[in-house]
Amino acid sequence: MQDFPTATGVSAKRAAHVARWAQARPTSVPIMQTATFAQTSATGFDAYDYSRSGNPTRAVLEEELARLEGGARAFAFASGMAAIAAALAWLGAGDVLLLGDDLYGGTVRYAERVLAPRGVAVQVVRAATTQAWRAALERAAARHVVAFLELPTNPLLRIVDLPAIAQAARASGATVIVDNTALSPHWLNPLALGADAVVHSATKHLGGHGDVTAGAVVTADTEGGGRVAEHVGFVQNAEGTALAPFDSWLLLRGMQTLGVRLDRAGEGALAVAHWLHERVGAGAITRVLHPGLADHPGHARLRELVNDPVRGFGTLIAFTTGAAERSRRLVEAVQRFTIAVSFGNVASSISLPCYMSHASVPDAAARPPSDLVRLSIGIEPSAELIADLEQALAAAGVSGS
């Protein structure tokens, strides 16, 4: 029991190495790249036995996720979708899932193709209207009701009045789960605003470098939060969707710079949004959506909810050109932006959500407008991004200047 087992029979003395490691004091969290942990005896267990159930590197990550969101417990998953599926896994026949409209396409697909056939009543609520949520919550007299929303919505960037919806949900016994991928815990802490649980695609801002696919569920110390945590913890082990040790380490490394990356990208997003906004009407830019713009309908409310009322409005900008073909030409003319799904990367990207991230929305009529262009602003100098957009608009015949 004292040696590392190897297939060739050659083994190192475990106790000597463990003693040396215990004194080593690494400044980076070690990657505990092991599937199994030796037991102390046939019946004696320590904290870890098998990495699907628990791994020290993942445990450090989960503690850090809970701290960032101000939650009681956190669970790391192999993707955002695995996290969302786990957070909703406890819903069964007769339960109600209220989904905000304009959600991430994969979430809609999961609800409609996996949960609905299981007997969960999936209902879509106009996300930006608090009254619609109140009415839906009052109507949904079911065993379990979950209100699932994004703030801002994606890609139309509508603002949901989370505290008001959470209050209505609490009154009717419903559980509120917020997908906080877009703003990240640096800018928004939904648990402090009344949500019971938060989910993340950590692939986006938390990872930040486009090099790891990961997800997280963080739960509050509320009745709803406790219910979600109990099931999520079980599902993570039962289904084997937990994040691997190396990916946990990548995510931990990315999260160390979350604040500086987002401060910079948030400023860049505001600069680009203002620049585009000044061009509305002059050429063929018909509308610019960014919650940091003063004329955005949810701007004032979001300002009250975010941790940084100067630049904490996200890194996403959406705009329309009036014609799908014009938008396609524009997307193909940019050089500093990568044409890519996803967002939250240090490198800026550009996409046509209707054909990319939201093509998985089963109902074509519920997809975003076909001329909608979405920008994800990274940490490049904003002047360079603006210069690139200027040449691309001219090349696509959109500038009008």
Ligand X SMILES: *Cc1c(COP(=O)(O)O)cnc(C)c1O
Which positions from 123 to 152 touch ligand X by CB under 6 A, shown as an x/- string? ---------------------------x--
Query: What are 59-67's contacts with CB under 8 Å, separation 24+?
Result: 60/29, 60/248, 60/252, 61/243, 61/248, 61/249, 61/251, 61/252, 62/216, 64/252, 64/255, 65/200, 65/206, 65/216, 65/218, 66/218
**Cα distances (Å, whole numbers) of residue 78 to 189, 213, 285, 392:** 22, 6, 39, 36
Q: Which of 55, 57, 79, 189 binds ligand X (CB under 6 A)?
A: 79
Size of the site for ligand X (CB under 6 A): 16
Kindly name the residue from 73, 134, 158, 204 that is annotated as catalytic. 204
Out of 189, 203, 321, 351, the only residue in the binding site for ligand X (CB under 6 A) is 203
Shortest gap between Cβ of 400 and ligand X (angstroms)?
32
Given 104, 264, 279, 388, the catalytic residue: 104
Binding mask 57-76 for ligand X (x = CB under 6 A): --------------------
Among 51, 130, 154, 219, binds ligand X (CB under 6 A): 154
Residues shown for the chain = 401
Least distance in Å: CB of 357 to ligand X?
7
**Amino acid letter at 349?**
S
Residue among 131, 118, 312, 122 nearest 205 (CA):
312
The verdict on 80 binding ligand X (CB under 6 A) reads: yes
For residues 194 and 170, the answer to whether their CB atoms sit within 8 Å is yes
**Contact region with ligand X (CB under 6 A), list: 37-45, 197-205, 332-340, 360-368:** 197-205
Cβ–Cβ under 8 Å, residues 137 and 172:
yes
Nearest to 179 by CA among 261, 108, 250, 264: 108
Active-site annotation holder among 3, 14, 52, 329: 52
Q: Check binding of 241 to ligand X (CB under 6 A).
A: no
Q: Is 213 in the site for ligand X (CB under 6 A)?
A: yes
Distance CA 224, CA 221 (A): 8
User: Is 204 noted as a catalytic residue in this protein?
Assistant: yes
Residue 179 touching ligand X (CB under 6 A): yes
Shortest CB 204 distance to ligand X, Å: 6
Residue 371 designated active-site: no
State yes or no: is 13 an active-site residue: no
What's the rounded Cα separation, in Å, for the pair 312 and 269?
A: 10
198 phi/psi in degrees, rounded to 5: -125, 140
**224 part of the interface to ligand X, by CB under 6 A:** no
Would residue 355 show up in a list of annotated catalytic residues for this protein? Answer: no
Q: Name the site residues for ligand X (rule: CB under 6 A).
A: 79-81, 104, 106-107, 150, 154, 179, 181-182, 201, 203-204, 213, 215
The residues annotated with a catalytic role in the active site are 52, 104, 179, 204
